[in-house]
Amino acid sequence: MSSMEVDSDDDPVVAEYNVYITPELKEQLYLLQYPTRKRQDPFNAEHGTLPTEMRVKPKTGFLEVDIGITPARRFDKLKGLQWGQALKHAKDAKAKGFGLSSGFGRGNELESGMKVLVSGSGSGKGKSGYEDPLNDFEAQVERGGVLMKQTFGGTIKKPDEGRPYYMAGTFRGNELHLTEITGIVQMRPQFHHIDAQAQLAKTTLSRNASKSLAKPQQPVSATALAAQRIKAESDTQVSTTYEATEKFLDAASDENWVKLGYRDEEDVASFELFDETMILKDVNGANELKAEWNATQYLDAINRPIIEEKKATAKKAKSVKKPADRPHGPVRK
C-alpha cells in the first residue's frame, strides 16, 4: 500500500457537495455580528428581544439597532429615568444624535434648565428636595421619559477591491449555495444616553457660569515658545489625517438616518425572501465554474503584497550609496 493511500484512509472524505453561486443580489446582504452577545441568546421574538427599530446611514456606513428593554426585571428605574429624561430632552431639542455615527454630537444645541438629572430613591422626597421621581415612574414610561431600549451599532465594513470577500452558505441536500455578502458590521453597545446626559450637564454648567472678566495673559516664556514650535511641526505632520477625520465627522453629522423595516427570522416573509435570494433556482441550467488561474498563479496572487514589498525593499537598498572610505588610525600631518 502506498503512502498516498494510507494518508487518504486517515482522512477520508465523508461528504461531497455541488457548489453553486447565486446571481448578484439587487438587495444588500449584511452580516451582523454581536461580539458581546451569547450565541444562545439571539435578538428575536422567541427570546423576547425583537428589535424595535433599525436604521442606516448609507453614505458614511453606520448601522444601528434598538432592542426593547422590559423594566419588570433587572432594571434600575432611577437610572432609566435619568437617561430617559436626557434622551427625551435631546430629542425635543432636535439634537442630531450622539456618538461616532453622528459626528460625536456636532450641531447639537441643547438648552439648559430642564430637570433631567433626577436623584433620590424610594418614597418621599429625594436628596435634591424634589418629589421622588419614582412615584411617577409609570406615568414617565407613558410619556417616553424612561430609557426603554438598548442600542447596538457599528460601521459597515465592505470588501476592498481586489481583496477576498465573504459569502453566506446555504445547504440543501447535497448542494451548497453561496451568496456574496455586501458587508459585515460588528454590532456593539452604543451609549447615546450617557452622551446626552453628559452634554446636558455640560450645557447647564456653561450657561450658569459667572461672566467674570478674563484673567490678564502672562507673557509667554522662551520655553513655552519652543514647545509651541515643536507642537506646530508635529501638527503639520498629522494635519492630513486630522482634516480627513474632521471631514468624515461632519459628513456623519449631516447625514440623516434611513429607517429600515425589520422581520423576525421566523416570519413567513423572511422564509420567502430567503428562498428567493439565497438559493439558486435552476441548478440544472447553471454554468460550470472554471478557474482562471492554476495553482502557481493563485499562490502568486495571494502573496503579491509580500512579493511587491520585497522588490521595493531591494530596489531601495540598491539606490542607497555607500559612504566613501575613510582612513583608519591616526592621521599624521
Q: Which three cell numbers stand for residue 300?
A: 502568486
Task: Give the per-residue pLDDT at 213.
Answer: 46
Task: Give the per-residue pLDDT at 144.
Answer: 82
Residue-wise pLDDT tens for the chain (333 aa)? 444 555 557 889 999 999 999 998 888 999 999 999 999 999 999 988 999 999 999 999 999 999 988 877 778 888 888 888 888 877 777 666 677 776 665 555 555 444 444 444 444 454 444 467 678 888 888 888 888 899 999 999 998 887 788 999 999 999 999 999 999 999 999 988 888 887 777 766 766 664 444 455 555 455 655 565 555 555 555 566 778 877 877 888 888 899 999 999 999 999 999 999 999 999 988 888 788 888 888 888 877 665 566 666 666 555 555 544 444 444 444
* Helices and strands (H, E) in the chain, number of each type: 9, 10
| Helix or strand (DSSP H, E) at 272 | helix 268-277
Q: Which residues in the chain belong to E strands, given as ranges?
A: 18-21, 30-33, 51-57, 62-68, 149-157, 167-172, 175-180, 183-186, 188-190, 258-260
Distance of alpha carbon 192 from alpha carbon 111, whole angstroms: 17
The crossing angle, in degrees rounded to 10, of helices 239-254 and 222-237 is 70
Distance of alpha carbon 158 from alpha carbon 60, whole angstroms: 12
Task: Give the per-residue pLDDT at 7.
Answer: 54
Does residue 81 contact residue 93 with C-beta atoms inside 8 Å? no
Q: Is 123 exposed, middle or buried (0-12, 13-18, 19+ CB in 10 A)?
A: exposed
